[in-house]
Structure 1
Amino acid sequence: CSLFFIIGIGTQMVLSPEIERLLLIVVFLPNVVMAWKFGWQGGVLSGLLGSMMITIARQVGVGFSNLVELEIFLATQALLGIGLGIAISRQQHLAQNLHHYRQRLEAELAARRALAEKLIHTEEDTRKSLARELHDEIGQNITAIQIQSQLVKRARDPAQTQAAASQINDLARRIHHSTRQLLRQLRPPALDELSFKEALHHLLNEFAFAERGIRCRFDYRLTATPESETVRFTLYRLLQELLNNVCKHADASEVAIALYQQGTLLRLEVKDNGIGISPDKMAGFGIQGMRERVSALGGELTLESQRGTRVIVNLPTNLQQTAG
């Protein structure tokens, strides 16, 4: 920076007055360089140094014999340095923000691609499981019914006919039971047949906590049923999976459930006094899958595992908010 000033002043000492003023551009160059490199701070510093060097040069009789001309030049130089510095600082700040937003966008896109791939694999696994159940349970039982029906046609003994009919009836019951189980896996019928609150109470009754020696408290504080069917279904499935973990792994004697609205969020809390979950075992409890499901809806799932396990799920009341 000082080198530019020294060159400019030294040149003025040896060149004719007719062209020496053109070399004042050399004095402005440090403003541009310093402003570009250090922003408005560099512009201010360059202006101060330039003013100092020009003042010293005037004292030794080099250029700017006119005081008014000197003042105008110093003011122009200072304003130029500060203006350039502010403009460049703003540009650099905008560039940094743009880079930051681009990184966030790339990370978000990568996460969404990974989630989409996982959803595709999950859907395919569900189809395979459904096909296997249909083949193993329903398909084989239908084949057995066909065999028994042929025996009925050929049977002449009433006792043999009665036995075949009884077998057919038993197989039909198995098919009915398997079908209901498959339908429950695809969609809980309670969500269609009962209110949302009643469906959740029905779910709790299915776990038979009293028979397991577990005291269960359910605090339902929603004043209105969630409008989104996706939210209702997700809350039902999450509660089902969390309570399944409590029954299978927690070794708990108490479980407390709370569902309420906090601002624009629906909050589901499930807390037990069991043995907790160590971080290396979370995959086996389906925590990551639940977290991804909640995240896909714009929500958040947090887990605390001290003195038992506490899971908190926050979901937006209106899924359209997640699109903004």
Structure 2
Amino acid sequence: MRLSSPTWSRGPLLGVLYCVTWLLLLNYVAPQWMIPPGLRFGALLLARPRHWPWLIAGEWAAHLMFRIGSVDETAWLHHFITNDAAAVLVVGGCIAALRRFGLKATLRMPEDVARLLAAALLTAFVNTLFCCALSNLIHPQMALQSLGSVIGSELLREYLGSLLIVPIMIMAVREPPERQEITRTLLEALFVLLPILALLLVMLKSSPPLPGFARILALVPVLLFAFRNGWRGAVFAMVLINGGMMAFTRADMHQFPATESLLFLAVAGTGALVLGAASDALRRSSRRLSVQNARLEGANRRLDQLARQLSEVARRNLRTEEQQRRYVAAELHDELGQNLTAIQTRVKLAQTRLREAGLSDVSTSINDILAHMRAAVRRLLNSLRPTVLDEFGLARALEDGPIRDLLKTAGVAYHLDLRGNLQDLDEDTRITVYRVVQEAATNTVRHAMASHFMLRVLSGKRNGRRMVALDMRDDGVGLGSGTPGTGGGRRGGHGLQSMRDRVTALGGTLRIHISENGTRLRILLPASGREA
């Protein structure tokens, strides 16, 4: 069971913890960082406004306890009024105002880092300027000294303190690192950061100008960790490098660095945090992109599977249709054909009696009707299942089969160009090629008013895969105002849609080009060898 403190006690607990932390940090003096102002900015930024009174009281209490027993009470009171008491109120007012402009305690994006550090710099400037102005009112002789700190090292040291401590507080409270990230950072610190730190410490104890170069080279591991481990790595490297350098050079703590050095550290530290946040954002974007790519790949695999299933269903439907056609053709041939033959035989046997009865014209009329019916049945059988396709193959069916007879009867010249081997194609491909050519020729005869129909069939390999290409043209009036495959216009009915369905079922493509000189259809079909 998770234990939590009562809501009313959280404010006092924060105040006590904040007071103790201030007491521990008030004795800390560093030439580069002013840690207590950074603690103040981070605490007020992370805490809820209803807890601010406890934080303010805790900071005041820490200052009062730290100053107890001061020899110069006047100087102590002046410092408390102009710095200790006023600073926390000024910083709180700045943070409350900046929150209205989108200030948040987060470092997830480079924009968040830039916004947060800009707020820290602005708050440090306003706080220092206010304290100097207040000090000028109480002791005018200290004005020049206070104004010098505004434009000098004090402002930069306060900003550097926020630059160091605020990301640590955010990392501890709002955005803790993952366990794998901690392990990776510690391993890199052991094998990369510690050797570099040892080299820097050796340079600090060397003769000039190596100590100055050491402070500059200290930024190299910070930038490296920022790039590899994000803003958390940059903060970790800054704390370790600066902590080691401060501990090793504690004897020289009284010599504060120049303003130019502080400015360099401020710019470099800001750049390291921005670089780290950008590196984190890039890694998050890469992970999201990888997840999206995996999802897209899964979706594509499912779509491919569905496409294969739909293609297989379409193939089965076409095979079923062809089987039905074959069955109907067999029934017509067996039943209707035999009955017509029987009727014709009976008419021949009855011709003598009809002639004796003066009804020879009836016999002639019946024979003409039977001949017409036989021709109609023959055309219907060829349309349902041409025997030439089964008996002689696709090439012979295209050369001398019903398609040529249909065009010749309509007075349309038939031009055929066959290239490649068409005999070893599988049954689905052979039937599809024949049917689409049959449909195209039928459309030409019925609607195009053309005088020529040209067909080119090419069978071969393309990129290692067997393909069949068809190019069909006529010199007719085109498709008129209809849209292919939609049922509109003179030639845009079910015929073209049937061709599209057959081609799509085999995974092929169909292109239609319409011009004043006629219609052109180009079809590309994948094919395989003849089925066993």
Quickly name the TM-score band, shorter chain normalised.
0.5 to 0.7
State which drifts further: 44-53 or 228-237. Answer: 44-53
Separation in 2, partners of 1:84, 1:191: 68
* Aligned residue in 2 for 1:270: 472
* Aligned residue in 2 for 1:193: 391
Alignment-mate amino acid for residue 493 of structure 2: G
* Aligned residue in 1 for 2:521: 311
- Indicate whether 1:72 and 2:269 are aligned: no
* Aligned residue in 1 for 2:22: none
Separation in 1, partners of 2:340, 2:393: 39
Q: Normalising to structure 2: TM-score of the pair?
A: 0.41
* Aligned residue in 1 for 2:448: 250
Separation in 2, partners of 1:71, 1:51: 21
Match of 1:10 among 41, 49, 64: 41
Q: Normalising to structure 1: TM-score of the pair?
A: 0.62
- Which deviations, in whole Å up to 9, do the C-alpha atoms of 1:91-128 show, x marking residues without a partner? 33345443586389569849976995998699589959
- Decide whether aligned partners of structure 1 residues 140 and 310 sit closer, same or farther in structure 2, where only a CA change above 3 A counts: closer
* Aligned residue in 2 for 1:23: none
* Aligned residue in 2 for 1:206: 405
Q: Tell me the CA shift for residue 253 of structure 1.
A: 1.4
Q: Is the 8 A contact 1:298 1:319 kept in 2?
A: no
- Decide whether aligned partners of structure 1 residues 96 and 298 sit closer, same or farther in structure 2, where only a CA change above 3 A counts: same
Q: Is the 8 A contact 1:141 1:174 kept in 2?
A: no
Alignment-mate amino acid for residue 268 of structure 1: L
Q: Is the 8 A contact 2:415 2:454 kept in 1?
A: yes
Separation in 2, partners of 1:261, 1:125: 23
Alignment-mate amino acid for residue 281 of structure 2: G
Alignment-mate amino acid for residue 222 of structure 2: I
* Aligned residue in 1 for 2:24: none
- Decide whether aligned partners of structure 1 residues 172 and 217 sit closer, same or farther in structure 2, where only a CA change above 3 A counts: closer
Alignment-mate amino acid for residue 258 of structure 1: R
Q: Is the 8 A contact 1:267 1:313 kept in 2?
A: yes
Match of 2:426 among 228, 241, 244: 228
Match of 1:293 among 478, 502, 506: 502
- Which deviations, in whole Å up to 9, do the C-alpha atoms of 1:260-291 show, x marking residues without a partner? 14724321011111111131235425111210
Q: Tell me the CA shift for residue 240 of structure 1.
A: 0.9
Alignment-mate amino acid for residue 388 of structure 2: A
- Decide whether aligned partners of structure 1 residues 107 and 287 sit closer, same or farther in structure 2, where only a CA change above 3 A counts: farther
Q: Is the 8 A contact 1:115 1:292 kept in 2?
A: no
Q: Tell me the CA shift for residue 311 of structure 1.
A: 0.7
* Aligned residue in 2 for 1:24: none
**Identity among equivalent pairs (%):** 21
- Indicate whether 1:59 and 2:156 are aligned: yes
Alignment-mate amino acid for residue 276 of structure 1: G
Alignment-mate amino acid for residue 11 of structure 1: G
Unaligned segments of structure 1, at least 5 residues: 1-5, 18-26, 35-43
SS of the aligned residue for 1:30 comes to: coil
Alignment-mate amino acid for residue 428 of structure 2: T
- Which deviations, in whole Å up to 9, do the C-alpha atoms of 1:165-202 show, x marking residues without a partner? x99xx899999878766654443221232243222101
State which drifts further: 182-191 or 56-65. Answer: 56-65
> What pairs with 1:83-122 in structure 2 (closer than 5 Å)?
83-97=279-293, 98=295, 102=299, 109=306, 116=313
State which drifts further: 118-127 or 287-296. Answer: 118-127
Q: Is the 8 A contact 2:326 2:384 kept in 1?
A: no
State which drifts further: 211-220 or 72-81. Answer: 72-81
* Aligned residue in 1 for 2:235: none
Separation in 2, partners of 1:232, 1:125: 12
Unaligned segments of structure 2, at least 5 residues: 1-36, 45-54, 63-102, 125-154, 166-214, 232-272
Alignment-mate amino acid for residue 30 of structure 1: T
Structure 1 vs Structure 2 CA RMSD: 5.5
**May I ask how many residue pairs the two structures share in their alignment?**
283
Q: Is the 8 A contact 1:138 1:178 kept in 2?
A: no
- Decide whether aligned partners of structure 1 residues 100 and 144 sit closer, same or farther in structure 2, where only a CA change above 3 A counts: same
- Decide whether aligned partners of structure 1 residues 172 and 251 sit closer, same or farther in structure 2, where only a CA change above 3 A counts: closer
Alignment-mate amino acid for residue 286 of structure 1: G
Separation in 2, partners of 1:198, 1:116: 30
Q: Is the 8 A contact 1:31 1:80 kept in 2?
A: no
